Chain A
């Protein structure tokens, strides 16, 4: 597979490490009420879609960016590649 890195252009998927579902970005607040239930969901419950999947890839043999790759699990077609940092910010994460 080829991942079109937003900064570096097309790179072979062999340069990357796969982590999993991009919702790992949405880490709950550990100090909030109901944190245990929220973390149970966060750590263990995943969708396993046949089709479009947003997932985290790490450019370990490259610039060490974490990317959010939108990939079709049936065809491996990649429709978008974003810097995970930008996605995290757009989902309300900051410092």
Chain B
């Protein structure tokens, strides 16, 4: 029901919304929960395990019960808390975990089966047979017990990431946070004040008492008005600080658009903030805890403070006649406020024999609520009076207060363990806080408003002093400073089920069972009963569970201890963590200078590392990619082809010690590499395993250009810098990555020289005598364009690589194509490149796979013993040099049409498919259009000595089992005559 007056809602405007298809009206300022309550809706969900009807328990983010699916389509979000959803016009929400309807839920049968569904039930019940777990039990349990379902549609909204720095981060904008912000703001410090609520002020927005001569909400508004004028203060409402990370870094989610039907044009839905702070003040207030008693989970039974908030802030109440059940003085304040808002309080039930009285209401001291009635909403409560008699009260709502817990979750994020404080009967933070953090107000256990204001000012003053600023704390306004009196009381003794954790359906009985079965440590208790798990992380339930366990073990709560909290404080959407890194933008895409040209040729691209490389260039009439690749290979080998090899890593090595440096990086010799010459180099890891290969071209005495594989470019550069800075800090050598500075094209085939001669400027002689195989030089092409020319070959043909500065890459590619027209120049992609290198038996990523050595690759003799180079010593280990070590060999199928599966393992004829019989494996396979047969290369035990042998290539994955002959990996031109032509 909506109360006739009061509340921070705008009654002049009406908002229309739907819950489970039913239309309702609310006002701006409402949450979904307050609007439903104002419309007389108490039933908002079904519980996790027993499908018990549930209503709202809290008025904030600790809510365990009122979880709904919000919105529809791609924006549908499960498990949102009705208590934190700001109402907007057209809002649609749906109840969860109920079928066919919220009022009649077939799985409520679980409630009757509760004797079988107690703590640890699935550890016991579903043990046998093991195979049933995955196929039957788990799907069944998942369907029966659960929260909302996610949508499978893509999220249409954008999420941003933001980085922000401040001197002092203040978390929570209640009285302590506001006073801290005022103190620090006036002192000129850079302040961020963050609060999860849409309206700052915290608990003050729910109170009726005065601060100075104003109402509490008005006082908060006045402070906020001043703060908002200060340029050094940033107010971040709707922002949940969810984690305290290392070195003063805090994670926060700002819900920019969640209060709107959809984000405004160009606005994100949420922003994930990374807040860098020098000091932080935790001012997150306190959370009320319930008392467990029989059937204490009915819709209409809620925390007393929440009942007060709904009445004061939203002018809403679940019923016109209510009762309050408390063990502390704050319950009395609730009763008083409810009466002030015109609600009838049937009784104030206080467990304390010495309870104070409250004018206007019957106070039942020393009484307890022992049971309730009302299946879909509370009808009555049964009270056992101090004298032992019982009395039944007809009420539509019951406010319960078991005391307040300092909301200290963030104080634990770096393993701080809270300490039990007897005076407030709650855990409080210790000095073991995340460095730079201090705690103020109720979060510290200072429950009066005056104490909140004064500690807020004091913590800010101290933080400012730490940062070298002197502050004058503002005068503290006059306000309530009542001591918080409480006599701990956790649960009413009885036979019926009394709920401790509403979200996970954990009752006092479950804790007793855990105790009986030996799961007594707090961490065991949590895992065995699921107490404190899921979306609310036990904000309302942990304390009760611990207290019951303490009672059972005969220990004090201090001795029992508490579980601690990890980030996030409240659930964070995965979309917010991903930010803009989704779909195409998941990671950057690197395009080579000839990308546009390749696109014009109709190239099909493949992702290599971050690069988009042309895979093949299909022509009209070609039906399969194989047809295209075969043509590209044959044309290159017959005349000339061109391939973009820009993506290979390039590292410029300069300095007097450049050659000596490379001599230590590569396992083969480099010290004597002559100027104008290129050498193939193999890099090992220090453990002797092959790391990467490439070429090094000596352009001058003190200048060598190194290439790496595309995939390893970054790792090789990092490795070389490590060697330069950490191993040989005084070598005269400098490194820089020039991968993106040069566009590079491989021109391969018998006509490649003739083609190049048309591009190279006069004055540069590239004849075979002047520019032999493995030569390199700096030249100019196309009338003065600076270029580097390398006579190196991956294809096995007469071949060159021509590099020009990136900005000329596109133009050069077009010139090459024009010059090559008379030779039928064919552009080829990575597939043809791969076929040609397999035909030549050149190792690539499949062979340099992190498990192979130089010996395995057939390059064992390259590892120089005359010098010290990285990996050389351990490459000589006995275990890597056994006679049956794997060797790189080639394979030809007995049937040339039979495809050899890459990844297949090699077995002798008739051998069983067992690891013990494994002879080696196939790494790279293709169809060779030149040899007109499928071929492959791979590793075989003692392979070099087994030429001509027949084995089987077996792939259990694809079911293929193919007879192959062992041959040399050099299928084409084994003597290398073509590349020297």
Contact = CB atoms under 8 A, between A and B. Distances in A.
A46 B17 CA distance: 62
Tell which of B730, B873, B877 has the most Cβ of chain A within 10 Å.
Answer: B873
B247 A1 contact: yes
Tell which of B276, B727, B872 has the most Cβ of chain A within 10 Å.
Answer: B727
Interface in B845-872: 867-869, 872
Contacts of A19: 722
A45 interface: no
B725 A66 contact: yes
Nearest to B274: A12
B721 interface: yes
A52 to B, nearest CB: 16
A65 B728 CA distance: 14
B721 A58 contact: yes
B344 interface: no
A47 to B, nearest CB: 18
Contact of A2 (B247, B721, B730, B732): B247
Interface in B726-743: 726-732
A75 B415 CA distance: 9
Contact of A43 (B435, B657, B686, B869): B686
A76 B247 contact: yes
A60 B718 contact: yes
Interface string B240-257: 000001111100000000
A42 B686 contact: yes
Contacts of A58: 718, 721-722
A42 B246 CA distance: 31
Contact of A64 (B721, B729, B874, B876): B721
A75 B414 contact: yes
B868 A29 contact: yes
A85 B687 contact: no
Contact of B874 (A43, A75, A93): A43
Interface residues of B, number: 31
Interface string B685-725: 01100000000000000000000000000100010011001
Interface in B241-285: 245-249, 276
Given A19-B722, A31-B868, A39 B873 contact: yes
Interface string A55-84: 010101000111000000001111000011
A39 B874 contact: yes
B728 A30 contact: no
Contacts of A85: 725-726, 729
A95 B728 contact: yes
A88 B686 contact: no
Main secondary structure of the interface of A (DSSP, over half): mixed
Interface in A27-44: 27-31, 35-36, 39-40, 42-44
A29 B877 CA distance: 16
Given A39-B686, A58-B718, A24 B873 contact: no
Interface residues of A, number: 37
Given A1-B247, A29-B868, A95-B657, A43 B687 contact: yes
Contacts of A89: 729-730
Given A1-B247, A88-B725, A30 B718 contact: no
B874 A2 contact: no
B729 A94 contact: yes
Contacts of B657: 95
B719 to A, nearest CB: 10
A1 B729 CA distance: 28
Given A43-B687, A75-B414, A24 B247 contact: no
A30 B729 contact: no
B728 A94 contact: yes
B246 A30 contact: no
B874 A56 contact: no
A88 B721 contact: no
Nearest to B878: A36
A35 B872 CA distance: 10
B722 A65 contact: no
B721 A40 contact: no
A44 B247 CA distance: 31
Contacts of A76: 246-247
Contacts of A66: 721-722, 725-726
B164 to A, nearest CB: 13
B730 A95 contact: yes
Interface string B337-366: 000000000000000000000000000000
B371 to A, nearest CB: 50
A36 B726 contact: no
A39 B487 CA distance: 67
A81 B245 CA distance: 20
A25 B414 contact: no
A2 B276 contact: yes
A83 to B, nearest CB: 8
A77 B435 contact: yes
A93 B664 CA distance: 15
Given A17-B718, A66-B721, A75-B414, A93 B686 contact: no
A78 B722 CA distance: 21
Contacts of B873: 28, 30, 35-36, 39
A66 to B, nearest CB: 4
Contacts of B414: 75
Contacts of B726: 24-25, 56, 66, 84-85, 87-88, 93
Contacts of A39: 686, 873-874
A95 B686 CA distance: 19
A70 to B, nearest CB: 14
Nearest to B661: A95
Contact of A94 (B730, B867, B877): B730
A17 B714 CA distance: 11
Given A88-B726, A94-B728, A95-B728, A1 B246 contact: yes
A77 B873 CA distance: 37
Contacts of B435: 77
A29 B718 CA distance: 22
A19 B686 CA distance: 14
Contacts of B732: 95
Contacts of B721: 58, 64, 66
B868 A25 contact: no
A9 to B, nearest CB: 13
A65 B729 CA distance: 12
A95 B869 CA distance: 14
Contacts of A17: 718
A58 to B, nearest CB: 6
B246 A93 contact: no
B731 A25 contact: no
A36 B714 CA distance: 29
A36 B728 contact: no
Given A1-B247, A19-B722, A88 B729 contact: yes
A93 B718 contact: no
Contact of B868 (A30, A36, A78, A94): A30
A62 to B, nearest CB: 12
Contacts of A40: 874
Given A2-B249, A31-B868, A88-B729, 16 more contacts: A1-B245, A1-B247, A2-B246, A2-B248, A24-B722, A30-B872, A39-B874, A66-B721, A75-B414, A76-B247, A77-B435, A84-B725, A88-B727, A93-B730, A95-B728, A95-B731
16 contacts: A2-B248, A19-B722, A29-B868, A30-B868, A36-B876, A56-B726, A58-B721, A64-B721, A65-B725, A66-B725, A85-B725, A87-B726, A93-B728, A93-B730, A94-B728, A95-B728
Sorted nearest first, the 4 A-B pairs with minimum C-beta distance are: A30-B868, A94-B730, A95-B730, A2-B247
